[in-house]
A and B are shown apart, each in its own frame.
Chain A
Amino acid sequence: MRTAVFYCKCGEMGGGRIDLERVARTIVALPEVASFHALELTCSSAGVKAMRQLLVDERPERVVVAASSPRELEPKLRRVMADAGLNPYLLAMTNVREQVAWVTADREAATDKAIAYVRAAVRRAELQVPLRPLAVETDPRVAVIGSGPAGLSAALALAGAGRDVVLVEQGPVLGGAAVRLDKVHPGMECGSCLMDPLVTGVLDSPRIEVLLLARLAGAKGYLGNFELSIARRPRFVVAETCIGCGDCVPVCPAVAPDPRPGELGTRRAISFAFPGAMPNVPVLDAQACVRSRGESCTLCQAACPVPGTIRYDEAPAVLERKVGAVVLAVGASLYDVGRLPALGWGRLPGVHTSLEVERMLSPDGPTAGQLGGRLAAPPRRIALVHCAGAMQAGHCDYCSVICCGVALKLGLALAERLPEATVTHVHRELCLPGPEDWALHERARAHARVSFRRYERPEALAASARDDGTAELAWGGRATERGAFDLVVLCPPLAPGPGHGELARLLDVGRDRHGFFAPLGPSTGHATSRIRGVMLAGTCQAPMGVATSVTHGAAAAGQALAMAVPGRTIEVDPIVASVDARRCSGCHVCVGVCPYKAIAFDQTTAQASVNPVLCTGCGTCVAACPAAAIEGAHFTHAQLLSEIREVLQ
């Protein structure tokens, strides 16, 4: 083996103590070593140039560089190798600066150690083999799951960049939770006014395929090559021919309480999601329809002016779509206050959630903007309970950032709507991020009929019925306080939605300890999951407001654009694991330890195989395989063993 050794003098600078003469003498004497070059600074442009020229001139079979940390320098030197026409993985690096010269006081000991490290690299290099990055074609299409502010924003940004987008929404209309809000704090725009440009932009875009009443049912593949199965429920109304006249709705005989959270009214089996919902096409709820009970009602079909638009025979469908990347933007739910029975929701008529009040205040809500719901009369004494389930072990052990703003907004709206009413904020820590939230808080503080009472112990919060039909709310500050209220508004935090677990399983996206999708890093990579090619956007990743969600959606779109580029192949690092089929006993151990679903198991051959695109090269399966059938490229058993033995000499 002809090995060229490059020894960088950077360790000698900055106070290092290594006897370069002795290192050179010892290393040159090794039978594998054909040349030894002491360079002034390998990392400098002059050093790189000199090294490249020597590589071209000498054409060594292996290259060893003893310098500073490979963490910084190795990628650069691999490029130098490639430039000189050598396979980059025939380079072995060792760090004689930070790991030897700078940390060893005794010159003899430092020199011995440097020799051991360089010799180990020489022996390791001998065992290294040429590796080539795998080039993978990428599909430029992107799937966006969820059509709230984050999903719409992502879809629009992707379509704007010329990408074809599949937008998958589980509901019958676009816009997510935000479109149903009366006012969006802190800007106080009406929810649908805010969302309409995004919704119409998506509906008008020829590049965006909108799949409604649809959910992700299966996912295979990896960055650049995902195969998604999307299950679509029937709408029973053909969107292409429906003119949105609504003649089918009033004739429907099936009237039942609206099952959706926050909606307090009733709804017919065929109905619009809400007035002004887009697309402006009703949906037939098959379970609520009297036909599900065997009746042969066709009233809606008869009322429809466009024949063939209402079709009772529409069947569920499974659609297959191929995409290069996925943006998860499925939103969050409000924490279920039913899990806080002491607060009286569902038990006391005066207790409502913030979303229920929000919908009552909305002109297109179930009460057309009037405070009705379970209330007998307009309330005069109103309490808003902040943090209902937030910052509380066993419920949501975090602050959900936006709910204080929501509570302040609702408090002011109620005080302005009801000139006789007093509003009491029963709060814990007030979370007022940003100048607008603070301004909102100042407005509430300045309002003559709005007051603030602080509680400290969430477990002491309790609501009970009074003889006059009002609710008595007790809260614990320094002492326990009580008040009688006609309306108690519980403001719960945002919590992971019920579908998060299934989506996490399908795409193998990790979740944090609260159940939100885990980002790549806590501070960097917030719009990216730990699975390459799967982006995260909006409140499915962490609680955030509408404005941040829109920005987050654009960020996720940007990541998707950068990852799967049309016409560009993805170069996959060849430092991956591979299974030797002759030795694999089919025990499945590797499949279980791989956190990236990179190992597939073929039932017919009863053997495991590694998908190099998904493999990140951590080597855990290599260590776990009881048959030593898996090898980790560039960190093979033989290479590591050789390195270990040599450094210990």
Chain B
Amino acid sequence: MSAPVDRGAFEPRVLGLLCTHCAYACADNAGATRASVPAGLRTVRLMCTGRVEPSLVLEAFVAGADGVLIMGCHPGGCHYKEQNYRAVQRQRILLRLLDQCGVEPARCRFDHVSAAESARYLELVDDFVAALRRLGPLRLERRTRAHRPH
């Protein structure tokens, strides 16, 4: 399958926020092909990328993510009419906010995949992880905060 893991190398921790209809289904299909996905990718399923509020992304960085990858349906393919467009609009503002918080905007990506594009999904994940490797681990002072919700 894939090369043995080099335990010395930096393995970025990536949060994947995936809409259930296209992106999560696509990740499932990629899994069915037994492709190799970076172990640092951790996926969370949402009904729609329209649900992604900026605080979820900010908290992910606080909780240890080196990058956040949000994936939804293609433009025109949203299962809730046009909510992925709203997510795209929100993403633009979020990137500016990240910059102000001292997080490189390149650590948060938004992309579109259909359920059938597992090869493209794997490419997008690999490409993002490669970019995060180049950026190195996220250093955030606030990460010292307790993470457990209560």
Tell which of A31-39, A180-188, A641-649 binds the partner.
Answer: A641-649
Q: Known: A98-B31, A105-B1. Is A643-B44 also a contact (CB below 8 A)?
A: yes
In the assembly, what is the distance between CA of A300 and CA of B15, in Å? Answer: 78
Instruction: Contact check, A595 vs B82: say whether CB atoms are below 8 A apart.
Output: yes
Instruction: Contact check, A647 vs B20: say whether CB atoms are below 8 A apart.
Output: no
Tell which of B52-60, B95-103, B104-112, B129-137 binds the partner.
Answer: B52-60
Tell which of A369-377, A499-507, A612-620 binds the partner.
Answer: A612-620
A46 CB–B CB distance under 8 Å:
no
Interface centre among B1, B4, B90 (most CB of A within 10 A): B1
- Number of B positions contacting A (CB below 8 A): 48
Q: Known: A593-B86, A641-B59, A647-B43. Is A103-B53 also a contact (CB below 8 A)?
A: no
Q: Which residues of A contact B63 (CB under 8 A)?
A: 644-645, 648
Contact for A645 among B32, B52, B59, B82, CB less than 8 A = B59
In the assembly, what is the distance between CA of A619 and CA of B52, in Å? Answer: 8
* Chain B min CB distance to A445 (Å): 40
Q: Which residues of A contact B43 (CB under 8 A)?
A: 99, 647
Contact for B56 among A103, A123, A618, A640, CB less than 8 A = A640
Instruction: Contact check, B5 vs A109: say whether CB atoms are below 8 A apart.
Output: yes
SS class, residues of chain A in contact with chain B? helix
Q: Known: A104-B39, A619-B50, A648-B13. Is A641-B56 also a contact (CB below 8 A)?
A: yes
In the assembly, what is the distance between CA of A642 and CA of B45, in Å? Answer: 13
Q: Which residues of B contact A105 (CB under 8 A)?
A: 1-2, 4-5, 36
Chain A, interface residues (CB within 8 Å), range: 35 or more
Instruction: Identify the closest chain B residue to A102 (Cβ).
Output: B31
Instruction: Contact check, B50 vs A623: say whether CB atoms are below 8 A apart.
Output: yes
Instruction: Contact check, B15 vs A647: say whether CB atoms are below 8 A apart.
Output: yes
B81 CB–A CB distance under 8 Å:
yes
A427 CB–B CB distance under 8 Å:
no
Q: Which residues of B contact A641 (CB under 8 A)?
A: 56, 59, 149
B47 CB–A CB distance under 8 Å:
yes
A70 CB–B CB distance under 8 Å:
yes
3-50 of chain A: CB within 8 A of chain B: 14-15
Instruction: Contact check, A103 vs B149: say whether CB atoms are below 8 A apart.
Output: no
B113 CB–A CB distance under 8 Å:
no
Q: Known: A618-B50, A640-B46. Is A595-B80 also a contact (CB below 8 A)?
A: yes
Q: Which residues of A contact B45 (CB under 8 A)?
A: 70
Q: Known: A105-B1, A530-B81, A648-B60. Is A71-B20 also a contact (CB below 8 A)?
A: yes
Instruction: Identify the closest chain A residue to B3 (Cβ).
Output: A105
* Chain B min CB distance to A481 (Å): 40
Q: Which residues of B contact A624 (CB under 8 A)?
A: 53, 86
A237 CB–B CB distance under 8 Å:
no
Instruction: Identify the closest chain A residue to B50 (Cβ).
Output: A620
In the assembly, what is the distance between CA of A641 and CA of B32, in Å? Answer: 28
A354 CB–B CB distance under 8 Å:
no
In the assembly, what is the distance between CA of A152 and CA of B45, in Å? Answer: 44
* Chain A min CB distance to B3 (Å): 8
Instruction: Contact check, B36 vs A619: say whether CB atoms are below 8 A apart.
Output: no
Instruction: Contact check, B56 vs A644: say whether CB atoms are below 8 A apart.
Output: yes
In the assembly, what is the distance between CA of A102 and CA of B80, in Å? Answer: 30
In the assembly, what is the distance between CA of A415 and CA of B1, in Å? Answer: 71
Contact for A648 among B37, B42, B55, CB less than 8 A = B42
Q: Known: A69-B28, A98-B27, A113-B39. Is A635-B34 also a contact (CB below 8 A)?
A: no
Q: Which residues of A contact B47 (CB under 8 A)?
A: 575, 617-619, 632, 635
Instruction: Contact check, A71 vs B37: say whether CB atoms are below 8 A apart.
Output: no
Interface centre among A69, A71, A99, A593 (most CB of B within 10 A): A99
B69 CB–A CB distance under 8 Å:
no
In the assembly, what is the distance between CA of A127 and CA of B149, in Å? Answer: 10
Contact for B39 among A69, A109, A617, A619, CB less than 8 A = A109
19-39 of chain B: CB within 8 A of chain A: 20, 24-25, 27-32, 34-37, 39
B71 CB–A CB distance under 8 Å:
no
A142 CB–B CB distance under 8 Å:
no
Contact for B37 among A69, A104, A618, CB less than 8 A = A104
- 0/1 string, B1-16, CB within 8 A of A gives 1: 1101100000001010
Contact for A644 among B35, B59, B148, CB less than 8 A = B59
Instruction: Contact check, B36 vs A595: say whether CB atoms are below 8 A apart.
Output: no
Q: Which residues of A contact B51 (CB under 8 A)?
A: 618-620, 622-623, 632, 635, 640
Contact for A99 among B2, B27, B53, CB less than 8 A = B27
A379 CB–B CB distance under 8 Å:
no
Jot down 28 A-B pairs with beta carbons below 8 A, ordered by A: A69-B24, A71-B28, A95-B28, A98-B29, A99-B28, A99-B31, A102-B31, A102-B34, A103-B34, A116-B42, A117-B42, A127-B149, A593-B50, A595-B80, A595-B82, A617-B47, A618-B47, A618-B51, A623-B52, A643-B44, A645-B59, A645-B63, A645-B147, A647-B15, A647-B43, A648-B13, A648-B60, A649-B64
Query: B-side interface residues toward A, CB under 8 Å?
Result: 1-2, 4-5, 13, 15, 20, 24-25, 27-32, 34-37, 39, 42-48, 50-53, 55-56, 59-60, 63-65, 80-83, 86-87, 90, 147-149
Contacts A640-B46, A641-B56 known; list 18 others, CB within 8 Å. Answer: A103-B34, A106-B5, A113-B39, A510-B81, A617-B47, A618-B47, A618-B51, A618-B83, A619-B50, A620-B83, A620-B87, A623-B90, A635-B51, A640-B51, A640-B56, A642-B149, A644-B59, A648-B60
